[in-house]
Structure formats: structure tokens, C-alpha cells
Amino acid sequence: MQLAYTILYVDDVRKSVEFYERAFDLRRKFIHDGGDYGELDTGGTVLAFSSRSLMRQLGKQPQPARRDAPCFEVAFTTADVPQALEQAVSSGAALVQAPAQMPWGQTTAYVADLDGFLIEICTPVNVSP
């Protein structure tokens, strides 16, 4: 199997897609005409958004994300974590954790998006064979 996409349940799909375009330089694949679903091209896996209202219409009960009690995170890798963090915050992300060097050599920082989802901005993990 291959991971094809991840869907975040948000209040406003268009607003979320536009935020991710600005904050993380992602490219929009599309937003459905009804505005309840959209996708971003992130490389091998699609990052998708669905409105919570559509999910309720489909019989699901999505809960809002909570940055103070996350149960999920999205991670974006970059060579320049401080610059990417600055871009995300200036685009409206809330700073959760400043860049820090991890014992395994990776640099990580965290922000919360407009809906409270935890976003990790990090250098790639350097794995030795």
C-alpha cells in the first residue's frame, strides 16, 4: 500500500488552502466548486481539507483540533527551519515551539495552523544505513 492523502477537517476549506499556500509554499491542486473539499500538492502525498459541515452531512462528528492537546500533526521538512518558521508565523500560524536541536540531529519547530492543527517544521531525519 501507499499513503495517498491525509484529510484535515476544517471550518473553511478555501481559507485553509490559501493559508497553507502562503505559509508553506504548497501548490493548490484544486478546490471543489462547492468549497467543501480541496487538495494541495505536497509531493508524494496529498494534503486535503474537508469542511466539518460536509462531514456532519455524511454522518460523522468531526471535532476541532486543539493545539494544546494535539492528537495529530503534519510535518514539513526544510533545510532552513528558522526561515520557514518565520514565513509560517507571518502568514498567520501561531508559534508553539521555537526551533530546537534534537538529540538525533534534527532541528524542529512547531506552529498551529488557523484551525489549531499542530504543524512540525523540521530538517529531514538523517538516517544512516
Which CATH number does the domain 73-122 belong to among 3.10.180.10, 1.10.645.10, 1.10.150.120, 3.30.70.2190? 3.10.180.10
CB 78 within 8 A of CB 89: no
The string of DSSP codes covering 24-59 is H--EEEEE-TTSSEEEEE-SSSEEEEEEHHHHHHTT
Whether residue 6 has pLDDT greater than 70? yes
In this chain, the answer to whether the domains covering 5-57 and 73-122 adopt an identical fold is yes
Residue 47 φ/ψ, nearest 5 degrees: -100, 115
CATH number of 5-57: 3.10.180.10
Tell me the pLDDT tens digit for each residue of 35-85.
999 999 998 889 999 999 999 999 999 998 988 888 889 999 999 999 999
CA–CA dist 72, 102 (Å, integer): 20
Mean pLDDT of the chain: 94
Whether residue 120 has pLDDT greater than 70? yes
Tell me the pLDDT tens digit for each residue of 71-116.
889 999 999 999 999 999 999 999 999 999 999 999 999 999 999 9
CA–CA dist 71, 66 (Å, integer): 8
The SS3 call for residue 126 is coil
Q: Give the domain ranges of the chain.
A: 5-57, 73-122
CA distances from 87 to 5, 23, 110, 117 (A): 24, 6, 13, 17
Question: Is pTM beyond 0.75 here?
Answer: yes
